[in-house]
Amino acid sequence: PYFKAMPFLGEKKYGFFMAVIPMGMLVGSGLLSIINIKKNQKFKIYKFGALICLGILPFVFIVKNFYLMIPIAFISFLCNVIFNTIFNSAIMHVVPSDKRGKIGALMNTISGGLQPIGALVGGVLGEFLPIRVAVLFLLGMSFIFTIALVFVKGSKELLEYESSDGTVEELIEKTNGIVLES
């Protein structure tokens, strides 16, 4: 709808724009496959990726120049892959192998279940607000949630956890102050 509503965009530019998103994701995945991220850098890169991704994405809907939108989207989705990959690899590292399938299914169910709710909220906002304002509002909310997720207690320890640091139970105790009984 945004590309239809903006006179400087249109269907052809929408197609090109939508092709740039997976290109950014592929480049991000490629970078992660050739760069070895040190343990003490994981959280910094995760935080940088998350904040850049959602910090610059609103500018896609602020600038009125298609040729500025393209690099913004490319960089945003490159960073998206980086922070999601670091997060998912940390989860796989911390969750015991016999529970990974259940945890992965739960995470996919939650994210998949939230998509229709997001579409509903976006649709309702789009009916009452100009499309640009609705999208910027939703991206602003995503940015706020991302900041909360990045700065939640224990996220640095979780993302930088390695088995040589101790057991997962010790990680939980350290990050939450909870004493687990055997």
Helix axes 66-94, 100-128, angle to 10 degrees: 150
Q: Provide the percentage of residues in the chain whose pLDDT is more than 70.
A: 95
Model confidence pLDDT, tens digit, residues 5-60: 888 888 889 999 999 999 999 999 999 999 988 888 988 999 999 999 989 999 99
Q: Pseudo-torsion of CA 164, 180, 46, 119, nearest 10°?
A: 150
Per-residue pLDDT, 27: 96
Number of C-beta neighbours around residue 171 at 10 A: 17
